[in-house]
Every structure is written in C-alpha cells, then in structure tokens.
Chains A and B, each alone.
Chain A
Amino acid sequence: MSLPHLFRFPGGIQPDAHKKESSEQPIRPVPLPARLAVPLVQSSQGSARTIVTVGDKVLKGQCIGEAEGNAGTAIHAPTSGRVTEIGRYPMAHPSGLDTLAIVIEPDGEERWIAREPLDMASASHEELILRVQASGIVGMGGAAFPSHIKANSKIDTLIINGAECEPWISCDDRLMRERSADIVTGARILRRLTGARRVLIGIEDNKPEAITAMKLVVQAAADDGGEISVITVPTRYPTGGQKQLIRVLTGFEIASNQRSSSFGVQCFNVGTAHAVCRALVHGEAMVSRVVTVTGNVEHPGNYEVLLGTAVADLIELCVAKPGTERTLMGGPLMGFTLPRLDAPITKSSNCIIAASNTLFPPAPPEQPCIRCGSCAQSCPTGLLPFELYWSSRAKNYDGAVHYNISECIECGCCAYVCPAHIPLVDYFRFAKSEIRARNQEKRAADQARARFEARSARLERDKAEKAARLTAKAAETRAALAANKDAATDANDAALIAAAVARTQAQSQAQPPASGQNGGATPPEPSI
C-alpha cells in the first residue's frame, strides 16, 4: 500500500501535547449527579421545543425537546427521573449568560425508553436522516453543527476527524481506542448517507494506539465497495480544524466564504460518527459524551458524562488540587475560562481543564510589537496578525478589514508564538465585535433610510393621487354647473366654486409636502 500524499497548510505550531495525563486510563462512568440541567440549545443552528412539563416522569433517552424547524435538533432525557424545573441556567459560554434548560432529577434507575434500532437494510435515506435529527446528533468536535444537515449532502470524500490537535484533550483518542468498531460503523452509515466514494479517517501521529485500533477494525471488514483508510497525519496544531484537516488529506483549500460540500468533501468528528452508530444501529439518542477532565486534578482522565452534568460535579469527582485558579472549557488554545462552574456539559463540551498558575502561567506583561513576523509565520490562515494588531489597536477597523480580519479563526497560534506577549487574539475578538456592531449600525441606518425613502415616496404618490382626484372632482363640479347653467344663478355658481377651492386648500394644508420638514430629520407622520 502506498503512502497517501499529504498536503500542508500554512503556519501552525507544535506546543507540548500533555495528552498522557488523561489518555492512559479507560473511559470511566460518572456517578449520577443530583440533577441534570439540559439546555434547549445544543446546536449552533437551532434550538429544541420543550415537550415535557414540570412533574413529568421521563425515561433515559426519551425525547424531552423536539427539533425546532429544519435545522433544530432534538434533546433527550439523559437518565430516567422527574422533570423538576424548566428554567434559566448558566450556559457553558464565556459570557456566562443564562439559557433555558430542562432540569431532571434522576431516580437512580437509569431505565431506558424502548430502544428502536433501524433496520439498516430496509431503511430509506429519508428515514435515516430523520433519525439522525431526532436523535439529537450534532458535531461533537466543538462546532455543534447539526449532523443531519451535513449528512444530507452528496459528496465524494467523507472525512472522519480524529486529529484531536489541541493539547491536553484526549477524549477522541480514548474513544478511538475503545470504541473503534462503532466509529467505523458510524462512518459507513455516513458514507451511505452522503454517497461518498472514499472515507478518510485522519489521526495525528501522536496517537499510535488509536491508529492501530482504528486500522484493525477497518482491515477486519474491508467489504462494502469503497475504500476506508486510516491516515496518519503529522502532529501540528491546528490540524484538527476542519478546513486544515481537509487541506492535509485532500489538498483542497476552502476559503472562509466557501462550503466544503461544494468541493465534494464533508467532515465529521469521530465522536459524531460514534453517536450516529449508537443512534441508528442501537436506537440510543445522544444522552452522554466522553469528556476529558485534566490539568490540576488528582484523577485526570476521560469520563462518560451525561449531558446536563454540572462542570462542578466533574471537578469534584476528579478532585481539584490546591492552586487551581480557574477552570477552562475546551483546550488551552481555543478554550475559554468558565465564568461559573454550575454550567452544564453540552454535546460540544470535550474537555475541562483545572488551571493552576504553574501549569498555565499568567500572561507576562505586554510589550511593544517588534514586527518580527513570527505571528505571520504561525498563522494557519496566512494572515499578518501584526498588521491586524496595529490596525485594531489604532481602532482603524478599515485597515483590519483590509488585512482580512474576518478570516481569522481565533486559533491562537499567533499569540502563542509572540515574543512580545501581546494578547493578539483578544485584540482581534474585540475588533471583530466592533466591526460587527458597526456593520449592524450601518445596516440599521440603511434600513431606516430605505424605510424613510419608501414612506416619502408613498406620501408623494398619495398626494399626487389626491390632487388628481380633486382636480377631477372640480372638473365634474364645473361640468355639473355648466349643465345646470339655466337653473343656477351666478351667485350659486360662485359659491359652489368657492366651496370646492376651499376644500382643496384645506386638504393640501392638512398634508404638508413630505420632503419639506427639517431636511427629513424627522419623518412626517403619514396622513390618512
């Protein structure tokens, strides 16, 4: 077998992996927590609609929120128990804002609802897609994009992402070592749904055990027309980024405004493939996921965590060591500091890191940029971060746009390598939000102007129509007068005309010219 030809993406970094801390123990269960708060929003594209009420008894895997609209995905009870509350709970998000969640108090029995596996041989494409949606499957790599949408496109190459490039995280590694068969089955189903000719499973070379396990399964069942290959890719952050992995495996470079499907490529995380298998072959909706808990804890490792489990419960289970200053969700390069620990685990939470100042030293003071260009050399998007920084700092947002700030994926490579310790990504996030706000303002102003212009035009038209009607009426009156000339006296005539003129004047005064007032600063109220 010839080695597959791999491609390079620009930049990238190679930080210490720190995978071993958590990757050497099998995936362990978590004792049932006192309550589970399942947020209705679990996907990046839509939300779910509650179909239970407080007091309802639910079974594990029972749907408690229906998919809302085409892009929504369903949510399910992670265990059997009772709905105790439907209220606002903190989100696992840097803002710490609240979101609507269904709270379930477990009864401790873990009783599943009747599971209905699909008969893969007879099920139609539509049935399968519907089941993916109804099982609440979203991308588990972090983006949480609804999988039924991605799986419903016709492509040539299906990519299964097992790169897991961020340091410290090892949940995909463990999943591939322990549940490779399910992942490959899921990949096969996804291939059937997408009609892909080939399936490429990309894994970074720092996970030899996972590579072996996956290869074993793939080789054991080299059957159903179409190649599945496990491809070892060099360890280089951010290879696990969807577009970077697509580049490495296929050579396609997908710009920020393009979709991978238009290149005939679609990419799913290994966890997602695993979930697809569980849902379709075993009839189990997505109710849990593997989460890495690592960093400054006594018992780092990977845990099978029910959705809705509070981060605090996990930290308590793994026992945070003294010196833990804050808790990160996600990896150290793209993850965020959790503002509150009562936030629940969601379908896209892959890692919890207890951060101490020893493991994650606070940022050294920011120094002036020396234009060394290290940041540009490390940027996987090919940007010039220092130019973005100079523009952002000077609040020259046009400059930032010129240097393509919108293409920045906030991967953190630039800030990682900067010798002046400039928190570049913070500057970019701030500039981006300013630019967004500015564009929104502009759009709002444009809309207001368009509305105002439309109204002015309407008023003009109304006025013209009214004038035309009045003229017509006056002409009519005159004609009537002419017809009654014999019967009518001159005085009568004059009175009638005067009345008509007065009416016209009164009407035109009640309706001032639309464009007249104060240069249009305050749009005139429309007259009826």
Chain B
Amino acid sequence: MAAQPRRNRVSDPDMSSPHIRKPVSVQREMFTVLLALVPGITAYVWQIGAGILVNLVLASLTALAAEALVLKLRARPVAITVTDGSALVTAWLVVLALPSIVPWWLTVLAVLVAIVGAKHLYGGIGQNPFNPAMAAYCAMIVAYPALMSQWPAIGNTDFTTQWHLILGGERAIDGLTGATALDAMRTGLRGHTDVTSILSSSAFGFVGGRGWEWIALGHLLGGLFLLATRTISWRQPLSFIIGLGLTASVFWLIAPERFPSPLFHLASGGAMLAAFFILTDPVTSSTTPRGKLIFAVGVGIIAWFVRTFGAYPEGIAFGVLLMNLCVPLIDRSTQPATFGQRKEKRP
C-alpha cells in the first residue's frame, strides 16, 4: 500500500503550496481594461465620428499579427501571450492617442513601433521600461509633426470624409481638420491673447475642448469602473490628477489671464485617458505603493510644463516616458520596510 515516495520539485506546482488561487488572470485584467475603454470610444464616435472604429480594427489586427510573429521569431509560446489581451490594449491606446484621421499607414506604423519596438525589443511583456503606446505616440509626433497635429474638426462627423482621409486622401481642405483645445490655447497665449477671450472661441466647450470633454468624461467613467473592479490602483489616477491639477492651480491663481484653470487641463487632451489607462499600466509604472504616487505626480507636473512651455501642445506622453526612465530609481528608493522594521510599530 505504501506509495512510492514522490518528491516535490520546483517545477511541480500541483505538489506544493499554495494549492488554491484567486480567480484572476492577466487575460481577465486586460479584457476588463478593454471594456472600460468602451464609454470613451462611444463618446468619441458620437462627438467626432466613426472614423476611429476603422483605426481600432486596423490597429487590433496589426497588433495581434505583429505580436504573434515576434513571439514565433523569439521562440516563445505564441497562443497564451497573443490571447492575453495585452497587445489589444496597447493597440487601442495607440489609436486613442493619435488623431483619428491619420492615414492608415501611420496607425500601422505606430502600432508596430509600440509592439515590436517598445515591447518586444526589450524582452516582451513585463520587461519593457517604456509605455508602448506613449513611446509610439512620441515617435510619431517627432517623425510626422504635421500629420500628428491635424485633428478632426468638431461638428464634421461625416464618415465618408474620415474614411477618405484615413485612406490617405487630400488633407488640405478647409473645415476638415481643426485645432484641439490645447492647440488653440497654446497658439492664443503665444499671441498674447488672454485666457478668457481664447476660451470664447468655438474650439471650447464647458470646461475643455468642445466635444473632447465628453470623451474625457467617458474615460473617467471607464476609469471609475476599473477602480470599482479593483483592476487598477487608485494611486496613479489620484496622484496624477493632483500633480497636474495642483501645478495648474498654482499658476492659475497667480495669473488667471495667462494660465488656464486646472479644470481645463484635466478635461483637455489625454488627461483622463492617461490617468486611468496609461499611468496604470502595470509593467511600466512603479511597483511600490509610494513609488506609484511619485511616478504619477511626476507625470502630472511634467505634462503641465510641456503643455505650457514646450514645443508640443500635449505633454503627457513625454511626461510618461521621462518618468518611465526614473522607475528603477523610484522603485529602489521606495522599497517598503518589512514587517518588524516598519515605523508604525505602535500607533
């Protein structure tokens, strides 16, 4: 009756503890994130037009194909990683960061930069230091500044026109493209117009860019859903909002005619998308609790400075990449104290 002794081995997880696991998986987390992007995308289609859906399909297919190919070349298990959903999340974020009327090849290129360059050249999921979507955005804005600054004009949601632009059609037609709120604000301020008169222009809505503020609201809703399902930590969104909001507040209080309000900053550009979807990327954010706070506050502050004084209207992507660079340092200096070494011995 005595069974043969079977030794536990490192590679035999069925034999050693723990014998139970929480029902969580990378795949589940990624698809929850995709679901949370739906409100923002819906608002996008409603306000700007359905052109973005073309980009989403195109980017998704490119991402999956690129991911599968690279994994195969690197002799890694293909099926389990391609289906984990992380490539799709990257692809959707790239699309949401780009103007939705960029020609199709720019979308494809951006996704390739994200998946092949920013993710796999560094060793694949878990190893990449830079947020792939933000790296792709920055590469594109540096390489194609003109295309990257042509945003669809609000009020012109005609799908045929957008389809035509995506296919690479003639772009120099008036009324097809328009300035974003951040653009208008920057140009206006450079021209020494004061904030109040800039805000009265047609590019602006209630608090941010006309139309765009609804998209921001959609992303905020999606973000709250991610918080409610505990898919993301509250640390990055909150501290990013504080970092950007507080910096904006300080300058706005000093000179309200020269600096727009914190609310404007938070409702414009990619602030909400970044707060809930970009900064919370587990791989490239800081991993320690205090590190997450520092990381996101840093992005918020840098974003404000680039938006206000930099060469590009939107500064979040640069903020993210810069803070990505600092993550190893942040992680190292915020290593939590272990049990028994913590300060809060007896409150």
Give the interface of A toward B (CB within 8 A).
Answer: 7, 9-10, 13, 15, 90, 94-97, 167, 243, 247, 251-256, 258, 312, 326, 328, 330, 332-337, 339-342, 355, 360-374, 376-377, 380-384, 386, 403-404, 407, 410, 412, 415-421, 423, 425-427, 429-430
Q: Inside 8 A of B197's CB, which chain A residues have their CB? A: none
Please, could you name 21 A-B residue pairs with CB atoms under 8 Å apart, sorted by A? A10-B336, A15-B20, A243-B339, A247-B339, A326-B14, A334-B17, A339-B3, A340-B5, A363-B21, A364-B25, A367-B25, A376-B287, A382-B336, A384-B288, A384-B335, A419-B25, A419-B26, A423-B16, A425-B16, A426-B11, A426-B13
Q: B15 → chain A, closest Cβ, in Å?
A: 5
Q: Mark B85-120, 1 if CB is under 8 A from A, else 0.
A: 010000000000000000000000000000000000
Interface of A is mostly: loop
Q: Is B143 on the interface with A (CB-CB < 8 A)?
A: no
> Who on chain B is nearest to A377 by CB?
B289
Q: B68 → chain A, closest Cβ, in Å?
A: 16
Interface pair A419/B18, CB less than 8 Å apart: no
Interface pair A10/B339, CB less than 8 Å apart: yes
Interface pair B3/A421, CB less than 8 Å apart: no
Interface pair A360/B19, CB less than 8 Å apart: yes
Q: Is B340 on the interface with A (CB-CB < 8 A)?
A: yes
Interface pair B20/A332, CB less than 8 Å apart: yes
Interface pair B24/A371, CB less than 8 Å apart: no
CA–CA, A412 and B347, complex, Å: 28
CA–CA, A382 and B336, complex, Å: 6
Q: Inside 8 A of A342's CB, which chain B residues have their CB? A: 1-3
CA–CA, A341 and B11, complex, Å: 22
> Who on chain B is nearest to A417 by CB?
B22
CA–CA, A416 and B127, complex, Å: 22
- A426 contacts which of B7, B16, B29 (Cβ < 8 Å)? B16
Please classify how large the interface on chain B is, using the bins under 10, 10 to 19, 20 to 34, 35 or more. Answer: 35 or more
Q: Inside 8 A of A426's CB, which chain B residues have their CB? A: 10-13, 16
Interface pair B338/A410, CB less than 8 Å apart: no
- A332 contacts which of B17, B26, B86 (Cβ < 8 Å)? B17
Interface pair A167/B20, CB less than 8 Å apart: yes
> Who on chain B is nearest to A420 by CB?
B26
Q: A335-B19, A372-B282, A430-B10 known; A419 and B339 CB under 8 Å? A: no
Q: Is B80 on the interface with A (CB-CB < 8 A)?
A: yes
Q: A241 → chain B, closest Cβ, in Å?
A: 10
Q: Inside 8 A of A364's CB, which chain B residues have their CB? A: 21, 25
- A416 contacts which of B5, B20, B283, B336 (Cβ < 8 Å)? B20
Interface pair B16/A341, CB less than 8 Å apart: no
Q: Inside 8 A of B1's CB, which chain A residues have their CB? A: 312, 341-342
Interface pair A373/B345, CB less than 8 Å apart: no
Q: A246 → chain B, closest Cβ, in Å?
A: 11
CA–CA, A426 and B13, complex, Å: 7
Q: Inside 8 A of A256's CB, which chain B residues have their CB? A: 338-340
Interface pair A339/B7, CB less than 8 Å apart: yes
Q: Inside 8 A of A374's CB, which chain B residues have their CB? A: 24
CA–CA, A404 and B335, complex, Å: 11
- B17 contacts which of A251, A252, A341, A412 (Cβ < 8 Å)? A412
Q: Inside 8 A of A252's CB, which chain B residues have their CB? A: 345-346
Q: Is B81 on the interface with A (CB-CB < 8 A)?
A: yes
- B287 contacts which of A384, A407, A410 (Cβ < 8 Å)? A384
> Who on chain B is nearest to A341 by CB?
B3
Interface pair A340/B2, CB less than 8 Å apart: yes
Q: A360-B19, A381-B338, A416-B22 known; A373 and B288 CB under 8 Å? A: yes
Q: B230 → chain A, closest Cβ, in Å?
A: 9
CA–CA, A425 and B16, complex, Å: 9
| Given pairs A339-B7, A384-B336, A410-B17, 11 additional interface contacts (CB within 8 A) | A255-B341, A256-B338, A336-B17, A337-B14, A368-B124, A373-B282, A376-B287, A407-B339, A419-B25, A419-B28, A425-B16
Interface pair A337/B338, CB less than 8 Å apart: no
CA–CA, A360 and B18, complex, Å: 10
Q: Is B337 on the interface with A (CB-CB < 8 A)?
A: yes
Interface pair A371/B126, CB less than 8 Å apart: yes
Q: Inside 8 A of A369's CB, which chain B residues have their CB? A: 126
Q: Inside 8 A of A243's CB, which chain B residues have their CB? A: 339-340
Q: Inside 8 A of B347's CB, which chain A residues have their CB? A: 7, 251
Interface pair A365/B80, CB less than 8 Å apart: yes
Q: A96-B6, A255-B339, A372-B282 known; A415 and B126 CB under 8 Å? A: no
